[in-house]
Amino acid sequence: MDTTLYLLVQRVSDHLFNLEQPGEIVLRAAGWEVRGQASILAETPGALAHAPAGQRPRQPWEVWVEVRPVRMQRLGEDGLSTLETIDW
C-alpha cells in the first residue's frame, strides 16, 4: 500500500527550517504517532498535481509538505506505551 500524507505548514513556521533537507519526521497527536520521510514539495507548476493542493487555489502563506509514512503506532492513554504498530 502506498500511503502519503500531505501537510500544510505556514511559510513563516520554524518547522520549515528543519524540513529543508529531506529526512525523518515524527507526527504526534493524542493516541497516535507516525514516523516517516518528509520533503517540502516544489512550488513549480505541476509538482502538486497529485496532492490536495492541486485541487484548490494556493495561498501565499502555505507550504505543502509530503510525508511518506514508515511506521504508525497507536499509543496508550499515558501517551508513551505502544498498543499497536503498523509498518509500511
- Sequence ranges of the domains in the chain: 5-87
Give the pLDDT of residue 46.
59
Tens of pLDDT, residues 13-67: 888 888 887 789 999 999 999 999 998 886 655 556 666 655 666 777 888 888 9
Give the pLDDT of residue 15.
83
| Among candidate residues 18, 66, 1, 60, the one with its CA nearest the CA of residue 40 | 66
pTM: 0.75
Instruction: Output the nine-digit C-alpha cell for 66.
Output: 509530503
Largest CA distance in the chain: 44
User: Do 86 and 44 form a contact (C-beta atoms < 8 A)?
Assistant: no
Alpha helices in 1-88, H assignment, sequence order: 15-19
Give the pLDDT of residue 47.
58
